[in-house]
């Protein structure tokens, strides 16, 4: 009885549409390497996804929460990260003369944003604000599948659907009208490892990278989780046996 | 057990001067407890454990949190990314809040089913409702602290409710906000109160336990214990049973913390608060949804607020609404049916609270809200007068039907030493 009530409550909580699901939108799904209790990130895919972000998205979208040092998670070593950071310029200062100055970034720096502020970003994008992507995979219901679908679902509006100027039709977006022009068409980038560059493949790689950015501790979380659940299961069994034994003289 | 029975001379020496050890011994060792408690009696200790987990993880989180509108969101992300195991501490804090409410709701439904609120345990029940109210306030303010979109807009909606109070409403809202909108002053006072209130809850928990130990636990049969043959000592019987309950609780908590940490949160709260952009649907945390449904069921703002608070106020007078001298639903066939209808109705209210307030959902919310109050204000008093109860057993030790129905005398049995 008790476990039944608990299960019903937990289920009703976890499956209620208030905590997920995006209404009228049917999302494409994919078997992500990071899903499931033993899930891990695909380092090669994340490196490719980072390349896509760099070459396609970074012109408009910031990732303010990510520091260059974090790219160690993608499999880069220290000197590679140093070299990578040095390609970016960040503002520092004030120096001894009281002036702000630009210098090459170091691994401890956060990724610089493409626009100085939100107003500049709006001014450059038809009034729409390109959201920061650091947490985007957790900030949308069913994040990874949503991003994957959004990136690969642009199409011509069906007959009779009016698309205002500066808007684009995307069935994966709630309301179907999105201010972001189609970012990926397939073959947008060339990967060193020769991986596929179809629009689906590139979208999946980018999603992998964005999921890591939103939840960088996912792998260690699941690893500890497996150990914790294993330990606690044994604890449950032994505490039950102890309870049975102690209660034997009452029953 | 008197002080000189402790084995260690150090303990004896201390206890003679400061009798904390004999106090603990009476409270958690000797304490005679009905021998027939089922697993529904595990949720009290689980609620205590939840409070302890919340306080410990909360104190650690506060070390790295910054209560300022410009830094709160990113300080939480700092905890998630840069603080050693900060992600784990925060996910435990977030999800234990939900588990705390699950446990407390089950604890309350147990009390409703077995009539644990009836004489002489009215104050015990009322203190429990006080704890529940304090928990809701604490949880609400805690949800505001990450300063995400739902934090901000949830705070805006809920604090605005007080503006419905005639004459002083607007002043109360200004006082809550510390200004003229939800802003930095609001965040600061919510952080201060969020840190304070768990300790107030802990204080009321102590009173709750003192009141509990006055007459001891109710039990599934709902009749008073009549002597040593009906009881067993708390230790080791209920300590080990509580340990088993805690093991199951921690296992379920671990599954959610490590594999579904955001399932009970809202994705919008990973978007920084933005006063210029209202989310499509503002929903509170899941554990407030039944009360949110009641609030929205009424077309009038003041009426909605009154009904929402009334839904909790009615719990305070419950011991005087249910006049049936029989406690346990096991011997109240009609009450038992109405209890499960009420339970289903409460779940339905929770479901409706998460739906947009439009169309059929509004109508269903009104029906469910009406039923919530009908159950307490009409059905329970009427059942107490007209229900034919089943014969009660003579005692817990001899669950033989004695053929007599309850007598008022048993409800006021002698207090127990504790």
Reported as a pLDDT band with limits 50, 70 and 90, residue B413 is very low
Alpha-carbon span A106 to B297, nearest angstrom: 56
Which residue does chain A place closest to B252, by CA atoms?
A229
Q: How high is the mean pLDDT of chain B?
A: 93
Quick one: pLDDT at residue A69? Answer: 97
DSSP characters over B301-316 = HHHHHHHHHHHHHHHH
Token output for A20: 């997920």
* Alpha-carbon span B257 to A222, nearest angstrom: 10
**The two three-digit tokens of residue B188, written as one number:** 């600061």
Beta B231-233 vs B32-34: how paired, if at all? antiparallel
The pLDDT assigned to B2 comes to 52
The 8-class DSSP code of residue A179 comes to S
Flag if A224 and B283 touch (Cβ within 8 Å): no
Q: Could you report the per-residue pLDDT of B188-244, keeping only the tens digit for each? A: 999 999 999 999 999 999 999 999 999 999 999 999 998 889 999 999 999 999 999
Give A171: exposed, middle or buried? Use CB within 10 Å, 0-12, 13-18, 19+: middle
Chain B residues lying within 8 Å of A16, measured CB to CB = 286, 351, 354
Residue of higher predicted confidence among B413 and B34 = B34
C-alpha–C-alpha distance, residues B239 and A243, integer Å: 9
Does residue A16 carry a pLDDT above 60? no
Integer Cα distance of A230 and A221 in angstroms:
14
CATH of the domain at A48: 1.10.760.10
pLDDT at B400: 52
How close is the nearest chain A Cα to the Cα of B168, in Å? 34
What's the Cα-to-Cα distance from B296 to each of A230, B308, B353, rounded to whole Å? 44, 9, 8
- Which residues of chain A make contact with B289, given a CB cutoff of 8 A? 18
Q: Residue B27: is its pLDDT beyond 50?
A: yes
**Token pair listed for B296:** 């929205």
Whole-angstrom distance, CA of residue B217 vs CA of residue B215: 7
Q: What are φ and ψ of residue B232, in 5° steps?
A: -130, 160
Asked whether the beta carbons of B326 and B222 are under 8 A apart, the reply is yes
In angstroms, what separates the C-alpha of B245 from chain A's closest C-alpha?
8
Binned at pLDDT 50, 70 and 90, residue A24 comes out as low
Q: Is the pLDDT of residue B3 over 80?
A: no
Residue pair B85/B19 in contact by the 8 Å Cβ criterion: no
- Structure tokens belonging to residue A138: 């957790």
Determine the structural domain holding residue A46 and report its residue range.
38-66+111-239
pLDDT at B280: 87
Tokens of B247: 């093991």
- Residue A91 is assigned to a structural domain of this protein: no
In B218-345, at which residue ranges do the beta strands (DSSP E only) sit? 231-233
**pLDDT tens digits, one per residue of A67-118:** 999 999 999 999 999 999 999 999 999 999 999 999 999 999 999 999 999 9
Q: Give the residue-averaged pLDDT of B258-270.
A: 96
Among residues 99-158 of chain A, which lie with CB inside 8 Å of chain B? 131, 134-135, 138-141, 143
Place of tokens 């040095």: A86
What radius of gyration do chain B's Cα atoms show?
24
Which residues of B are marked as active site? Answer: 213, 217, 241-242, 285
Give strand pairing partners of B33: B232
Q: How many residues make up chain B in this entry?
A: 418
Structural domain tally of chain A? Answer: 1
For the packed helices A218-247 and B234-259, what is the interaxial angle rounded to 10 degrees?
160
Chain B nearest C-alpha distance from A97 (Å): 29
Is there a contact between A236 and B247 if contact means CB atoms under 8 Å apart? Answer: yes
A189 interfaces chain B, CB cutoff of 8 Å: no
DSSP 8-class letter at A136: T
Q: Which residue of A has its CA nearest to B78?
A: A65
Cis peptide before B88 (omega within 30 of 0): no
% of chain B residues with pLDDT over 70 = 94
SS3 A235: helix
Over residues B117-142, the mean pLDDT reads: 97
For chain B, the straight-line distance linking the first and the last C-alpha, in angstroms and rounded, comes to 12
**Residue A86: inside a domain:** no
A229:B251 CB<8 A:
yes
Structural Rg of chain A based on CA atoms: 23
For B330, the 3-state DSSP assignment is: helix
What is the per-residue pLDDT for B394? 87
Classified as helix, coil or strand, B392 is strand
Residue A240 contacts B where some CB pair is shorter than 8 Å: yes
CA gap B268, B95 in Å, rounded: 17
Q: What percent of chain A has pLDDT over 70?
A: 90
* DSSP count for chain B of H helices, then E strands: 17, 4
Q: Would you give the distance in Å from CA B121 to the centre of its chain?
A: 17
Interval A156-177: pLDDT, tens: 999 888 899 989 999 999 999 9
Q: How many CB pairs under 8 A join A and B?
A: 129
Over range A22-49, report the average pLDDT. 89
Model confidence over A194-231: pLDDT tens digits? 999 999 999 999 999 999 999 999 999 999 999 999 99
At B333-366, the pLDDT tens digits run 999 999 999 999 999 999 999 999 889 999 999 9
CB distance A243–B243 less than 8 Å? yes
Q: How far apart are CA B194 and CA B280, in angstroms?
A: 27
What residue ranges define each of the domains in chain B, with the CATH number in brackets? 30-411 (1.20.810.10)
Q: How far is CA B376 from CA A101, A169, B124, B133, in A?
A: 70, 52, 19, 18
Model pLDDT, residue B4: 54
Do B80 and A12 count as a contact with CB atoms less than 8 A apart? no
Asked if the structure places residue A72 within a domain, the reply is no
Q: Which residues of B touch A14 (CB under 8 A)?
A: 260, 263-264
**Residue B73 binned pLDDT confidence (cut-offs 50, 70, 90):** very high
**Burial label, A161 (beta-carbon count in 10 A; 0-12, 13-18, 19+):** exposed
- Contacts of residue B347 in chain A, CB cutoff 8 Å? 8, 12
Distance in angstroms (rounded) separating the CA atoms of residues B103 and A10: 11
* Across B267-279, average pLDDT: 95
Show the CA angle centred on residue A226, arms to residues A220 and A231, nearest 5°: 125
Read off the pLDDT band of A5 (50, 70, 90): very low
B residues 215-254 closer than 8 Å to A (CB): 232, 236-237, 240-241, 243-244, 246-248, 250-252, 254
- Is A78 within the bounds of a domain? no
Evaluate whether B246 touches B238 at the Cβ level (below 8 Å).
no
Res. A44: pLDDT tops 50: yes
Residue B404, pLDDT score: 47
């Amino acid at each position: 009885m008790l476990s039944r009530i608990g299960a019903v409550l937990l289920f009703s909580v976890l499956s209620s549409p208030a905590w997920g699901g995006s209404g009228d939108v049917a999302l494409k799904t994919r078997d992500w390497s990071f899903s499931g209790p033993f899930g891990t990130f695909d380092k090669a895919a994340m490196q490719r996804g980072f390349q896509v972000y760099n070459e396609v998205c970074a012109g408009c979208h910031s990732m303010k929460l990510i520091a260059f040092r974090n790219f160690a998670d993608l499999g880069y070593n220290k000197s590679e990260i140093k070299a990578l950071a040095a390609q970016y310029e960040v503002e520092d200062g004030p120096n001894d003369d009281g002036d702000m100055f630009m210098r090459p970034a170091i691994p401890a720096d956060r990724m610089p944003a493409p626009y100085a502020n939100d107003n500049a970003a709006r001014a450059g994008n038809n009034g729409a604000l390109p959201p920061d992507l650091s947490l985007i995979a957790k900030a949308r219901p069913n994040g990874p599948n949503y991003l994957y679908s959004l990136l690969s679902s642009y199409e011509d509006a069906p007959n009779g659907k009016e698309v205002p100027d500066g808007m684009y039709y995307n069935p994966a977006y709630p309301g179907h009208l999105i201010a972001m022009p189609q970012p990926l068409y397939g073959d947008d980038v060339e990967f060193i490892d020769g991986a596929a560059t179809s629009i689906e493949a590139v979208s999946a790689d980018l999603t992998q990278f964005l999921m890591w950015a939103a939840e960088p501790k996912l792998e260690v979380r699941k690893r500890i989780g497996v150990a914790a659940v294993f330990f606690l299961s044994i604890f449950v069994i032994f505490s039950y046996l102890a309870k049975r034994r102690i209660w034997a003289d009452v029953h | 057990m008197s002080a000189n029975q402790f084995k260690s001379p150090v303990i004896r020496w201390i206890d003679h001067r400061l009798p904390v050890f004999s106090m603990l011994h009476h409270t958690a060792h000797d304490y005679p407890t009905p021998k027939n408690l089922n697993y529904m009696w595990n949720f009290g200790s689980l609620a205590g454990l939840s409070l302890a987990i919340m306080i410990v993880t909360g104190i650690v989180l506060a070390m790295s949190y910054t209560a300022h509108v410009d830094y709160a969101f990113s300080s939480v992300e700092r905890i998630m990314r840069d603080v050693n195991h900060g992600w784990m501490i925060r996910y435990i804090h977030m999800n234990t809040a939900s588990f705390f409410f699950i446990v407390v709701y089950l604890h309350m439904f147990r009390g409703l089913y077995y009539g644990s609120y009836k004489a002489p345990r009215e104050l015990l029940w009322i203190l429990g409702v006080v704890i529940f109210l304090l928990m809701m306030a604490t949880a609400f303010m805690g949800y505001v602290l990450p300063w995400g979109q739902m934090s901000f807009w949830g705070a805006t909606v809920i604090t605005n409710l007080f503006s419905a109070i005639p004459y002083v409403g607007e002043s109360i809202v200004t006082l809550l906000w510390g200004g003229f909108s939800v802003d930095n002053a609001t965040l600061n006072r919510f952080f201060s109160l969020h840190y304070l209130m768990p300790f107030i809850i802990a204080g009321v928990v102590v009173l709750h336990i003192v009141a509990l130990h006055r007459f001891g636990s109710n039990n599934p049969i709902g009749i008073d214990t009549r002597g040593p043959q009906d009881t067993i000592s708390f230790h080791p019987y209920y300590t080990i049973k509580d340990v088993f309950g805690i093991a199951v609780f921690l296992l379920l908590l671990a599954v959610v913390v490590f594999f579904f940490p955001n399932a009970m949160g809202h994705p919008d709260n990973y978007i920084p608060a933005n006063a210029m952009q209202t989310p499509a649907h503002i929903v509170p945390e899941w554990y407030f949804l039944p009360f949110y449904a009641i609030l929205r069921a009424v077309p009038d703002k003041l009426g909605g607020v009154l009904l929402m608070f009334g839904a909790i106020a009615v719990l305070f007078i419950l011991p005087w609404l249910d006049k049936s001298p029989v406690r346990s639903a096991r011997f109240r066939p009609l009450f038992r049916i109405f209890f499960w209808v009420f339970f289903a109705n409460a779940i339905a209210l929770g479901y409706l609270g998460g739906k947009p307030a439009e169309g059929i959902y509004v109508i269903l919310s009104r029906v469910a809200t009406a039923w919530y109050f009908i159950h307490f204000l009409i059905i329970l008093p009427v059942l107490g007068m007209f229900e034919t109860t089943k014969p009660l057993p003579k005692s817990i030790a001899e669950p033989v039907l004695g053929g007599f129905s309850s007598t008022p005398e048993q409800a006021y049995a002698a207090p127990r030493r504790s």
